[in-house]
Structures are given as structure tokens and as C-alpha cells.
């Protein structure tokens, strides 16, 4: 593909996949070019192209029935829906056996925010001596609800975050102007996400000071908004916002502040869940004191949704409902994907090969300090920076011409989100290409 003057988005839109020929981590385009896929469609992909176990599920009668017989699962579910849900719960974060399924990541966020608001609203009413059930409120208060004046509750999100493109999610998204321009958003408070340096170990002291500042800013917001705060929403690694990592201590601090404020901790694992960090859920690496209240999934699970602790059970039917709460066919693929991740030991594989990949990126950053910096990663959530946006794009184009398809994030970061099956040999091949590109650019 001639990539010369095109920007990265145009290049990706011109790259049309031949998914009959693509296999494993090899993406073949319709012109017959073969790329090592370190992009996986913004982390949607998990087991590579045409995995035999997923093909077998997709060819099963059960899958065909699930695809052609749409059911409104909350009202009149098909029996296989319960089997799939039970199966998925085996992979739920510890202590979170409630599951709610929708179609996309942003819908998962939207509904997790609703769950946080509903539980918070009930608690607030009951604490003030009112009814838990909003339908028992006096008529004028019910009218106020219908006229959009029923609640002043807020969700706190972080600077640089990306949570999706529907209205609630977008109100918590602060990564790029283009996502939000001209769209009115809820004026909810925004806490600063720590601007850490990498490798995390080298900048530990500096980063600890930044994280302490960020936590203190969050605490101030929680104090200021007091009982209005229904939840704090945060990504375990800010992905679209530039692959920004914070330490386990930081996340423990956020949880402690949520506990003190009596609000929900809502983790957005849409991009970080499903094994890409080397654990099924990235927050497992944070040593949290107890389960978060709500964990949102998407991407690799082939549908959106959230897991919740029992205290975030929504009691009244109809408050959380969509015509199709969960697509059976997608859910079957999700379950088979997670089973393969477990049975083929892919979490350990991602940890081991991811550490090797990161060590390789660190070596490149040492070798080409004027071009590459800030190598960072957890498992296969990998990134590094270039000095400018133009240089980053140039780097990505050169890599693409040499057959390595990495992607961008933030203003000047290269992001890698390989399929979980990427082998050590393929990592070495990628590192060889990135080395050649950096050498070329360093002149
Ligand atoms: C962290 C995070 N949350 C939410 C979303 C939204 O997911 P979707 O695009 O499936 O709606 C994304 C998508 O990139 C994401 O990275």
C-alpha cells in the first residue's frame, strides 16, 4: 500500500482484510499483503484469525439457532442463554457473580453507570427516611423525575480517560476533542490521572509523588461533591488516552477513597479485560482489598456488559433492561474464547512473552534514545513513545511497509495489542522490524 502522505486513520481505512486468508496473528489484506497483526482491531481480537475452536462453535446448530432466533432474554429467554451465562460467570472477577450483557463496550459503561446511580439513589432516599422504591415517591417528585430534575448525582472520571461514545460514557471521556465536540455532556467532575513516566520501576519516586497528588485531588472532589457521588469510573490502563499506566498502590488508593465516600468503584476493563494483561482482569494485579463494585467488559468478550457485586443487584425489574440483553451467539463465542484462554494456558503465555516483548522495547529505547522512549506494558498491553505525532505516524507507516501492523494512541504513542496467541518468534520478528525502522529514522 502507498502510505506516503496519508494519515494513519486513512491508511487503516484503506487496509481491507481478507479474512478467508488471514490466520492466527497474520492479517492478509485483499491485495495479498501479509502483516503481523499487533493491532487486533483495537483489542477486539483474542485468539487470532480463524481459530479452529471458534469455527467449531460458529458451525454448531446451537450457534445457528442463537443467531437466527432473536430472543428478548430478560422476558422470554431461550434455555441455552442460562447455560452460557453460567459458563461466563466462571470467568467473572472474584466476588462478582452478577452479570449484565448488552452489545458494545459503551453500552456496558452506560449500564454500569445506571446501576451505580440506581443503588446510590435508593440508598440516599432510604437514608433520608424515604422509600427505596421510586414508584412510592409522592406524585410531584415522580413528575420531577420525568422532567429530568430527579437527580443531582454525579460520576467522577479521570482526565485522559476513554469510556466510549454514547452520552453517559462520553461525559466520562476526556481523551480527544473530536469525540466530544458539539455534543452536550453531563458536567460531572474530572479528577487528574497521574502523568507517570516509564519504565515505572525507574521513575518510582517521581511517580509516587504524582500519584499522591492525583489521589489528593480525587479526595478533594469526593469531599466537595459528598453524597452526590454515585461512583468513580477508571480504566486499569488508560488505553485510548495514550496507554497511561498507574501503580497498584494508586488503584488501591482510589478504592479506599471510594469506600470512604460510600460510592461505587467502577472499573472499565473493556480494553484491558479478557487476558491481554496476563491476568483475566487487569485489576487482579492491583491487590485490591475487596472486589470493585462494577467491572465493565467488552471487546474480547465479543459483547459489552458488566459484572457486579451482590450489593449492586437491581431489585425492580424493568429499571435495567434492553430488548435484547445479550446476544446468545456472541456470548457463545465469548465463552469459548475464555475457555481456550484458560485451557491453552494463554495467561501465562501472555505474561512470559509479554515480558520478553517489553524487554525488547526497553532495549530499543536504550539503543535509539532520540527516537524511542517510555516503553511500558503489562502482558500484551504494550506501548512506547516518539518525540512528535509526525514521527510516531512515520514510524507506524514504515513498520507497516515492512509488514508489522502496530497502531497509535494518544498524541505520540505507538500502541500494541497483539492477539493472545502471538508467539515468541513473532515477537522477535516484530522487534527486528521496529529496530530496523528506528535505525532508519535515527539516520
Ligand atoms: C476503555 C474503553 N472503554 C469503552 C470503550 C467503548 O467500547 P465500544 O467501542 O465497544 O463501544 C472502549 C473502546 O475502545 C475502550 O477502550
Atom of ligand 1 lying closest to residue 164 CA: 6
Cβ(110) to ligand 1 under 6 A? no
Q: Is the CB of 42 under 6 A from ligand 1?
A: yes
Q: Domain of 17?
A: 1-32
Q: Please tell me the distance from the alpha carbon of residue 56 to that of residue 277, in angstroms, as a whole number.
A: 27
How far is 39 from 50, CA to CA, in rounded Å?
16
Atom of ligand 1 nearest to the CA of 304: 10
In this structure, the answer to whether residues 291 and 179 fall within a common structural domain is yes
Q: Is residue 47, in this structure, part of any structural domain at all?
A: no
Residue 227: inside a domain: yes
Residue 400 is assigned to a structural domain of this protein: no
**Cα–Cα nearest to 40, from 341, 418, 422, 401:** 418
The pLDDT tens digits of the residues spanning 232-262 come to 999 999 999 999 999 999 999 999 999 999 9
Task: Examine residue 199 and say whether the peptide bond preceding it is cis (omega within 30 degrees of 0).
Answer: yes
Residue 395 domain-assigned (yes or no): no
**Same domain flag for 103 and 212:** yes
106 is catalytic: no
As averages over each run of 10 residues, the pLDDT of the chain (443 residues) reads 70 88 97 96 97 98 94 86 95 96 97 98 96 95 94 98 97 95 96 92 92 98 98 97 96 98 98 98 98 98 97 88 90 98 98 98 97 97 97 96 95 97 98 98 91
Tell me: do 292 and 429 sit in the same domain.
no
Quote the pLDDT of residue 3. Answer: 64
Distance (Å) from CA 332 to ligand 1 centroid:
21
Specify whether 265 is located in the same domain as 204. yes
Answer yes or no: do 292 and 158 share one domain: yes
Given the residues 299, 300, 378, 397, select the one marked as catalytic. 299
pTM check: above 0.95: yes
* Whether residue 21 is found in the same domain as residue 83: no
Residues 318, 361 within the same domain: no
* Residue 3 is a catalytic residue: no
Burial tier of 163 (Cβ tally within 10 Å: 0-12, 13-18, 19+): buried
Q: With both helix axes pointing from N to C terminus, report the angle between 424-442 and 346-367 in degrees, rounded to the nearest 10.
A: 20
The pLDDT of residue 73: 81
Residues 218 and 281 in one domain: yes
Question: Is residue 85 located within the same domain as residue 105?
Answer: yes
Q: Would you state the pLDDT for residue 4?
A: 64
CA distance 134 to 132: 6
Looking at the fold, whether 24 and 164 belong to one and the same domain comes out as: no
Q: Is residue 50 part of a domain?
A: no
Q: 44 lies in a domain?
A: no
Same domain, residue pair 375 and 267: no
Flag whether 48 is in a domain.
no
| pLDDT at position 258 | 98
- In the chain, the number of structural domains is 3
Instruction: Decide: 225 and 191 in contact? Cβ < 8 Å.
Output: no
Same-domain status, 237 and 366: no
Candidate from 105, 113, 155, 243 with most ligand 1 atoms within 8 A of CB, to mutate: 105
- pLDDT for 2: 58
Amino acid at each position: 500500500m502507498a502510505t506516503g502522505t496519508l494519515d494513519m486513520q486513512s491508511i487503516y481505512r484503506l487496509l481491507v482484510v481478507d479474512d478467508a486468508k488471514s490466520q492466527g496473528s497474520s492479517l492478509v489484506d485483499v491485495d495479498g499483503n501479509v502483516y503481523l497483526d499487533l493491532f487486533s482491531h483495537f483489542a477486539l481480537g483474542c485468539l487470532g484469525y480463524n481459530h479452529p475452536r471458534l469455527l467449531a462453535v460458529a458451525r454448531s446448530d446451537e450457534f445457528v439457532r442463537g443467531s437466527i432466533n432473536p430472543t428478548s432474554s430478560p422476558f422470554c429467554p431461550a434455555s441455552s442463554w442460562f447455560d452460557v451465562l453460567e459458563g461466563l460467570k466462571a470467568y467473572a472477577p472474584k466476588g462478582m457473580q452478577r452479570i449484565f450483557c448488552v452489545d458494545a463496550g459503551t453500552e456496558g459503561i452506560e449500564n454500569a453507570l445506571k446501576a451505580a446511580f440506581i443503588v446510590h439513589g435508593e440508598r440516599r432516599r432510604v437514608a433520608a427516611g424515604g422509600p427505596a422504591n421510586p414508584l412510592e415517591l409522592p406524585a410531584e417528585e415522580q413528575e420531577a423525575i420525568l422532567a429530568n430534575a430527579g437527580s443531582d448525582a454525579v460520576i467522577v472520571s479521570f482526565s485522559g480517560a476513554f469510556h466510549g461514545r454514547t452520552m453517559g460514557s462520553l461525559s466520562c471521556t476526556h481523551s480527544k476533542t473530536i469525540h466530544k465536540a458539539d455534543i452536550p455532556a453531563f458536567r460531572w467532575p474530572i479528577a487528574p490521572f497521574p502523568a507517570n513516566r516509564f519504565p515505572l520501576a525507574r521513575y518510582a519516586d517521581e511517580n509516587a509523588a504524582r500519584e499522591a497528588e492525583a489521589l489528593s485531588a480525587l479526595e478533594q472532589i469526593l469531599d466537595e461533591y459528598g453524597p452526590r457521588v454515585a461512583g468513580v469510573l477508571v480504566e486499569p490502563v488508560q488505553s485510548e488516552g495514550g496507554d497511561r499506566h498507574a501503580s497498584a498502590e494508586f488503584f488501591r488508593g482510589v478504592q479506599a477513597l471510594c469506600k470512604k465516600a460510600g460510592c461505587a468503584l467502577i472499573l472499565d476493563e473493556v480494553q484491558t479485560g479478557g487476558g491481554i494483561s496476563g491476568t483475566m482482569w487487569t485489576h487482579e494485579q492491583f491487590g485490591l482489598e475487596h472486589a470493585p463494585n462494577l467491572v465493565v467488559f467488552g471487546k474480547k468478550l465479543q459483547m459489552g456488559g458488566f459484572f457486579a457485586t451482590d450489593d449492586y443487584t437491581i431489585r425492580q425489574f424493568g429499571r435495567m433492561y434492553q430488548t435484547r440483553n445479550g446476544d446468545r451467539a456472541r456470548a457463545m463465542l465469548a465463552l469459548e474464547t475464555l475457555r481456550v484462554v484458560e485451557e491453552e494456558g494463554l495467561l501465562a503465555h501472555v505474561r512470559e512473552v509479554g515480558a520478553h516483548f517489553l524487554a525488547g522495547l526497553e532495549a530499543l529505547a536504550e539503543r535509539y534514545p532520540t527516537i524511542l522512549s517510555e516503553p511500558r506494558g503489562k502482558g500484551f498491553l504494550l506501548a512506547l513513545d516518539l518525540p512528535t505525532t509526525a514521527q510516531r505516524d512515520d514510524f507506524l507507516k514504515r513498520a507497516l511497509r515492512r509488514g508489522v501492523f502496530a497502531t497509535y494512541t494518544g498524541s505520540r504513542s505507538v500502541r500494541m495489542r497483539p492477539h493472545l496467541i502471538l508467539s515468541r518468534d513473532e515477537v522477535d520478528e516484530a522487534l527486528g522490524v521496529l529496530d530496523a525502522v528506528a535505525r532508519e529514522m535515527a539516520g
